[in-house]
Structure formats: C-alpha cells, structure tokens
Amino acid sequence: MEWSARDRAAKVGRDGRGGFGEGTGGMKHVRFGRGRFLVFEGVEGAGKSTQLPLVERRLGDAGVRTLTTREPGGTPLGESLRAVLLDPRFTGMSPTAELLVMFAARAEHLAKVIEPALAAGTWVLCDRFTDATFAYQGGGRGVDAARIAALEETVQGRVRPDLVLVLDVPVEVGLARAGRRRQMPMDLPDAPTWTGSAPDAADRFEREDVDFFRRVREVYLERARARPERYAIIDASADEETTAERVLTTISERLPYRRHSTRQSYEAGI
C-alpha cells in the first residue's frame, strides 16, 4: 500500500485490521466495556495529523488501548478508494459518485476495523468520519444534507462518534499551513506518489477555492453548535502545544478514563 507525505505521522490500518487486540494477554478476568469512538475533524491544515499521535500517546500512557485510523481509508479497500477520491485526474467527479464512494469506504471501515475494535474495548481515534461528508459533500459540493443523513443511517446503523473534536482555524490559516506541509521534505522511505503526480502536489480537495472551505468550516461549526454534547470546538489557531493541551483536557473532561496501573488495563470512568 502506498502512502502520501501527510501520512508520515500516522499508522493507520496498514494491515486492514489495525492491530487492535494487543496487550490483552493474561487479562481474561478483566471485562472490557465497549471502546470509545473519537473523531478529529477540521478544514485542511487544522492540525489533525499532528494532534492525533499526541492523543494516542497520552491515552496509551494512561493504559487505554487505542487504534488510530482515518477516512477515507483505514482498510486496503478504503485506501484504494481514497486514492481515487483524492486523485486530481478525477476533478469534476459527480458529487453523487463522490458521496457514494466515501460511504463505500466507510462501510468497509466500519465492518472490518471500527466495529470490531469498539466491541473489543479499544478506543478508536479516527481522522475524519461522517461529519466530513456533511461538511465537504454537503457544504462544499451542495449535496442535500437529508441524502447524506439517509446514507449515514443505512451504512452506520446506530454507530455514531462519542466525541467529535472540531479543530477550528480560519480557512486562510489552514490552507497556508497545508501548503507549507506539502513543501516539507518527506522523511519516510516509503513516502509515496499514490496519485501518480508529484508528492507535493495538491490533492483533488486541496485544489478547491477558499469559498469551498469556508462552506466546509461553516457546516462543521453549525453541526458542533447544534449538538454540544457530542462535539467540542477547539481553537486550533495557536501553536501545536497549546492546541494539544486543549485537546487533551477536552478528552479527559468529556470521556473520563481511570488507569488501573497494576493490571495495565482501563475502565471508562463514566
């Protein structure tokens, strides 16, 4: 499987199973509850890929078993569909085709990775999920939200994130960061060229104009304000450390967990 430059920090579902179930040897007496489902959202350059590994590490230090994954992607099929979705050669793809491919990748991801992990008590940290569809296909492309909601129901049933962290930055700030990231030298030997274009080329979404991303951001904020119990809007315009503190504080307040230091296990504190 090939990976883009932005994947350097992510270890996302490379084997299509994600490696969950680790660290449970000799723990048969411990009854794990269902894992928590955390989603990171935001416009391009909001800092998701920087924050996700920090959260993964902090939760791991507290004895919480996690799986980090992403959308579109997270499975071999999903990563192949991602390559199609991001490929600038398909500029002008029909919005309905784009919507259905997003949900096709999501169906596979849920069945093969997300649901088994949650059932095993693993916390799933997901870089984007269905809010991105409402924001990009709904806000960006103008697809009717009711059509997206119908697919959400069909594909996900009752599965919804426990917490969606919307990393919020002004669109201009995010796009400037994303532009700088593309120009950074790659430090992975397997850093790929999945589109067949230069590795620092903007993908099909990154080529959209500022107004597209303003609509995307507006949908994220509207959805977050409408369901404050499920969402947290994090001001991500500050430096990485400040944003990381905001993210970690929000998670521990909203999804408290306790460490069982002697057993190396955890229990959701709710």
Strand partners, 164: 39, 231
Among 132, 224, 236, 247, binds ligand TMP (CB under 6 A): 132
Sign of CA dihedral 18, 33, 246, 62: negative
169 binds ligand TMP (CB under 6 A): no
Which segment (115-123, 130-138, 181-189, 241-249) binds ligand TMP by CB under 6 A?
130-138
Q: How many helices (H) and strands (E) does the chain have?
A: 9, 7
Among 66, 75, 122, 133, binds ligand TMP (CB under 6 A): 133
Per-residue mark of binding to ligand TMP, 227-266 (x: CB under 6 A): ----------------------------------------
Per-residue mark of binding to ligand TMP, 110-129 (x: CB under 6 A): -----------------xx-
Among 35, 72, 78, 139, binds ligand TMP (CB under 6 A): 72
Among 102, 143, 166, 255, binds ligand TMP (CB under 6 A): 102
Report the residue number, 181 or 254, with the smaller CB distance to ligand TMP: 181
Q: Which of 129, 130, 116 is nearest to 35 (CA)?
A: 116
Which residues in 182-200 are b (16+ Cβ under 10 Å) and which e?
beeebeeeebeebbeeeee
Q: CB 44 → ligand TMP: shortest distance, Å?
A: 6
Please report, as residue ranges, which positions from 1 to 40 form the binding site for ligand TMP (by CB under 6 A).
Answer: none
Which residues in 51-72 are b (16+ Cβ under 10 Å) and which e?
bbebbbebbeeebbbbbbbbbb
Exposed (0-12), middle (13-18) or buried (19+): which is 173, by Cβ within 10 Å?
middle
Q: Is 3 helix (H, G, I), strand (E, B) or coil?
A: coil
108 binds ligand TMP (CB under 6 A): no
Cβ atoms of 175 and 212 closer than 8 Å:
no
Q: CB 251 → ligand TMP: shortest distance, Å?
A: 19
Which stretches of the chain bind ligand TMP, using CB under 6 A? 44, 71-72, 102, 127-128, 132-133, 136-137, 205
